[in-house]
Amino acid sequence: MKKILVIEDTIEQSSLVADLLKEKGCAYLVAKNLAEASFAIQSASFDGVLTDLHFPEKEGASVTPPCGFAVLVMCAEKSLPVVVVSDIDHHFADYAKVVVNGIAKLHATGKIPFVMDSKDWPKGIQLLEEVMI
């Protein structure tokens, strides 16, 4: 059974991805902010991570960089497969891509797939399955 960490701050979205993971027979934990995500990554073993980039409750409206970048660095340090599923403002998209690709170079897999649609969890799960192999 694959063990997945889901990092998503909205209940609607985390419930959606949870249902998809249950259908696939995965065990999962849900973290809603950077503190919870960091604690979970340090405290338990996971096969993969699905993460949003923005956790507004912790970041505020205009703070950059988003907390999700810190999660990606933690995953890179632990060689933990990770996929980003997040809406990106078009002003921010190029910057986000550059940062995610830069962090990917630190990752053992060399890849951090990026789904630029916060509702497309099926695609995120599919990409995570590919990088977990």
Binding site for another protein (CB under 8 A): 1, 3, 11, 14-15, 18, 27-32, 35-36, 39-40, 43-46
- What is the greatest pairwise CA distance in the chain? 39
Rounded least distance, CB 74 to another protein, Å:
15
Smallest distance, Å, CB 27 to another protein? 5
- In sequence order, the 6+-apart residues with CB closer than 8 A to the CB of 16 are 119, 121
Strands 48-51 and 114-115: unpaired
Q: Which C-beta is closer to another protein: that of 35 or that of 98?
A: 35
* Residue 131 Cβ vs another protein, minimum distance, rounded to whole Å: 19
44 or 63, CB closer to another protein?
Answer: 44
CB of 62 to another protein, least distance (A): 26
The answer to whether 26 touches 60, Cβ cutoff 8 Å, is no
Q: Whose Cβ is closer to another protein: residue 35's or residue 93's?
A: 35
Residue number with CB closer to another protein (9 or 114): 9
Q: Is the dihedral of CA 63, 60, 68, 35 positive or negative?
A: positive
The CA distances from residue 107 to 15, 82, 131, in Å, are 28, 10, 11
Which sign does the torsion angle of CA 112, 8, 41, 44 carry?
negative
- Minimum Å distance from CB 39 to another protein? 5
Which residue, 10 or 109, is less far from another protein as judged by CB? 10
